[in-house]
Amino acid sequence: MTVHSMAQPGHNRFDVGESRRRCMRYRRRILDISQKVGALHIAPAFSCLEISDACYHGLMRPAAAGADKSPDTFLMSKGHGCMAQYVILEDIGVLPTSDLDAYCTPDGILGAHPDYGNPGIEASTGSLGHGLSMAVGMAVAERNIAGKGRAPGMVYCVLSDGELQEGSTWEAILMGSTLGLTNLVAVVDNNDFQSLGRTSETHPSFYPLVEKLEAFGWESVEVNGHDAGAVYEAVAARKGDRPFFLVAKTVKGRGVSYMESVPIWHYRAPNPDEYRQALDELKEIAS
């Protein structure tokens, strides 16, 4: 199925089937990398893969797409989900394969959180609660430098639900709407976990989230965050008169049964037997 945007005619067509195949390939790539390091944030990456794929392959406009609009920016505020971004950057030719192969090694440049200055990385993130503030500043800068007849670039920011417990995040939410940043899209990877605890159990007042965001002046909707087509359609069809916040309901460790919603997979890498089981399960899903 290919979905189109009615409200945003400048966006690409988005092939949902191709997205599923890409995300399956990305999960396998991350699993392969997991066998070279002692630990990595695999489950947080698996929960935001479809979100990131919809941004990079559907919503974002590259620099070469036209002079009437600045290039779009992606910021992985939940820095522990960076493996999802790394494998996409490798796939689109921004990060060389050699960098992914050297992930978290003394000779490599890629760490367990994104570092500014590495190819495709616009900010150092992972100290949770800072990313959306940086995205607000980037959106303001884009608006300020946009020339006559040239639209500002969009800024896409992916957050964890854990970092929505940070006061600095809500200050950024308040400022984003106060400044009328119509070129800012935030997506919360709402997998209901913050490290080792369920958000809904440890912070029940976290919900209802959409209503809170709307009260702060944002347009907001909720979708299944593992349906890349739904993510794409929701963002592309936004009204565009204020900043947009997508609440993406996800499953931590999505795609591998023993990882799904199991806290330890926030940190650890699978052993050889677990690795083979994960690959077998992904093969079954793909067939």
Tens of pLDDT, residues 60-118: 987 655 567 788 999 999 999 999 999 999 999 999 999 999 999 999 999 999 999 99
pLDDT score at 65: 52
pLDDT per residue over 193-214, tens digit each? 987 789 899 888 989 999 999 9
Other CB atoms within a 10 A radius of the CB of residue 226 amount to 21
Q: Which helix (H) or strand (E) holds 139?
A: helix 131-145
Sequence-distant (≥ 6) Cβ neighbours of residue 210 within 8 angstroms: 220, 221, 222, 247
268 bridge partner residues:
39
- Please, are residues 56 and 137 in contact by the beta-carbon 8 Å criterion? no
Amino acid sitting at position 81: G
pTM, full prediction: 0.93
pLDDT score at 145: 86
Strand, coil or helix: what is 55?
helix
